[in-house]
A and B are shown apart, each in its own frame.
Chain A
Amino acid sequence: DGGITQSPKYLFRKEGQNVTLSCEQNLNHDAMYWYRQDPGQGLRLIYYSQIVNDFQKGDIAEGYSVSREKKESFPLTVTSAQKNPTAFYLCASSIIEWSRNQPQHFGDGTRLSIL
């Protein structure tokens, strides 16, 4: 059955290390998104991509990088430049339909913690 798969569910990182979070979707959605959730706050957009080989910064892109080499995959790298990386990371995807609104659909998230 179709869906969005994020892995791993829990991830630990040492100070100064880069770490990559995986997001794969088999919904044939054009757009993919990465959000960060912190306690007591709404989701904040890190990066999004509407088409393969193209992506745009969201509100809090500093310290993060992404790639979109395949339609199905949108990995997020948390670099050592991200000063406060401990958070719950959510990947989402959606259809792009110019004439009608479409909701975003989410994976189950990856919780990143710093050791």
Chain B
Amino acid sequence: DQQVKQNSPSLSVQEGRISILNCDYTNSMFDYFLWYKKYPAEGPTFLISISSIKDKNEDGRFTVFLNKSAKHLSLHIVPSQPGDSAVYFCAASARRNNNNDMRFGAGTRLTVKP
């Protein structure tokens, strides 16, 4: 069962513009959401997270937005840089399960063109 979905397998953006990566989830018990970034032949690196008590969390060029009613979150990267080119995974979990049930999307490959 795919409880976390990233419907766009790839995204291409020009350097300096905004990158918007989207993620949808189905389990209303999820209350903790994360974005990971993955380069080839490396493990995913934690990027940013958001708790369900918030609708926005910002860290430098990265902002995550959460729309609980739509069960949708997005990651905005502004401005995009060539070094941001990677695969981005969305993940979600329920704190009541101590995050042991973390579910991952299939990933979106972002390419930032110079």
Within 8 A of B (CB), among A77-115: 90, 92, 94, 96, 98, 101-109
Residues of B within 8 A of A96 (CB): 98
Residues of A within 8 A of B106 (CB): 40-42
Residue of B nearest to A104 (CB): B102
CA distance A108 to B38 in the complex (A): 10
Q: Is the CB of A105 within 8 A of B46?
A: yes
Q: Please give 10 more A-B residue pairs, beta carbons under 8 A apart, in addition to A106-B43, A106-B45.
A: A9-B41, A40-B106, A43-B104, A94-B99, A98-B98, A101-B95, A103-B34, A104-B99, A107-B43, A108-B41
User: Which B residues are closer than 8 A to A by beta carbons?
Assistant: 2, 4, 9, 31-32, 34, 36, 41-46, 49, 51, 89, 93, 95, 98-107
